[in-house]
Amino acid sequence: MHYFSFHDNALHAEQVSLVEIAEQQGTPTFVYSANTIREHYKRLDDALAPIDHEVAYAVKANSNVAVLSLLNEMGASFDIVSGGELYRVVKAGGDPAKCTFAGVGKTREEIEYALELGIHAFNVESEAELNFINKVAGEMGKTAPVSIRVNPNVDAKTHKYISTGKSENKFGIDFDVIADVFERASKMEHVQLKGLQMHIGSQLTTVQPFRDAVTKVAPLAADLKEKYGIEFFSIGGGIGIIYDPALESGSPDWWDANHPEDMPLTTEKYASELIPILKPLGLKILLEPGRYIVGNAGVMITRCLYEKRGKAKTFKIVDAGMNDLIRPALYQGYHEIVPLTQGGPRSTVKTDVVGPVCETGDFFCQDRELPDFEEGELLALMSAGAYGAVMGSTYNSRPLPTEVLVDGDQATVIRKRQTMDDILAQEIF
């Protein structure tokens, strides 16, 4: 669920009108609901209460320091994939000792930085990386804590760009050889084996792939605990969110109206299926949710600039572009598009909603039946809290948008809109 809903015919984030935010901050602007983030974190944390666990928020989903600070206050750990994300966590008040460092291409500088700060563990993605971490740690006179990522070759049945657990994906070490890699790692002088890690993909809306992967890998985790004394088993993230219908799904009534067999994956269902497999291991279980916590906690506000009616199509041209929210262009991501104000009955129109970027792929939807909003109207692209602003660019020399965090009746700017001087600041001329 989430805290975006209509009050007095205007869409609100918690108790703040999105129309008022748009008037004050301009468009495009990302708006996040603090209480949605808190509730999603707590629901997952509570669901896993019967087992020893940590919820390690995947920073890549939304790395704004204010969002990280909010989650740090909730007690979250952090899943990072770069030295820059570690820097952000520290700036947000987070403890490096609660950070696990994933990613297939860690540099010497990143490894040294993480070792100096004392992170919880590196999630090692290849044997070459393992050897390099051992070398760097030795040169620093340190011992590097590591978990090794296994690729379970389980099909998550999600988009190919966000599938991570199949043999053809770049992530992790093949299941058939992982035991041998652990054996060789146990003999390395400058690494300490701390855990086993896996992750099969993102935006999973059924529990079956999770259950298949955990069932396959759990015996391996038990064996590694016995042989090498590993302390944790990280089962990754990937719990999906509701993109369609996003707005309706904010209401408990929508969830109550769903037949149990048609119910999207909930934390309760997720936990009930996995806890019986995980609890007998006696290991700490790490989870790495990102999208689940922040995805439906954010929207992007944009304004319709023009309508263009041609022989083949009707286009609604807005002031946000693919540089602001790239998901539709990158992997056909769906975002519900909602006018910020309600009035009388509206007609509908089949339209493409497109941005001003000079690319044919700069669209937010194609041939979608939408309320026939007019030039000048404000719109919300729902479910934009994850992989939205964090993936933004200044392509076409377009400044990055404002970001706003709403907490109850308070709206705080947590990133100012870039200026052209900001964009040019690092250029030499």
List active site positions.
Answer: 358
331 is in an annotated binding site: yes
How many Cα neighbours within 13 Å face the side chain of 242?
18
- Please, are residues 77 and 286 in contact by the beta-carbon 8 Å criterion? yes
End-to-end Cα distance, the chain: 50
What angle is formed at CA 178 by the lines to CA 175 and CA 182, rounded to 5 degrees?
160
CA 317 to chain centre: 28
Strand order in the sheet with 16-17: 4-7, 10-13, 16-17
In contact, 418 and 392? CB cutoff 8 Å: no
280 has binding-site annotation: no
Rounded CA-CA distance 314/256 in Å is 37
387 labeled binding residue: yes
Question: What is d(CA 322, CA 306) in angstroms, rounded to the nearest whole number?
Answer: 17
Residue 327 assigned as binding residue: yes
Cβ(290)–Cβ(58) under 8 Å?
A: yes
191-197 and 232-234 strand pairing:
parallel
Is residue 84 annotated as involved in ligand binding? Answer: no
Please, are residues 103 and 125 in contact by the beta-carbon 8 Å criterion? yes
- The reply to whether 288 sits in an annotated binding site is yes
Residue 297 CA to residue 389 CA, distance in Å, equals 13
State how far the Cα of 265 lies from the Cα of 394, in Å rounded to an integer: 36
Three-state secondary-structure class, residue 414 = strand
Q: Is 32 annotated as a binding residue?
A: no
Which residues participate in the annotated binding site for pyridoxal 5'-phosphate? 238, 288-291, 387
Binding-site entries: 238, 288-291, 327, 331, 359, 387
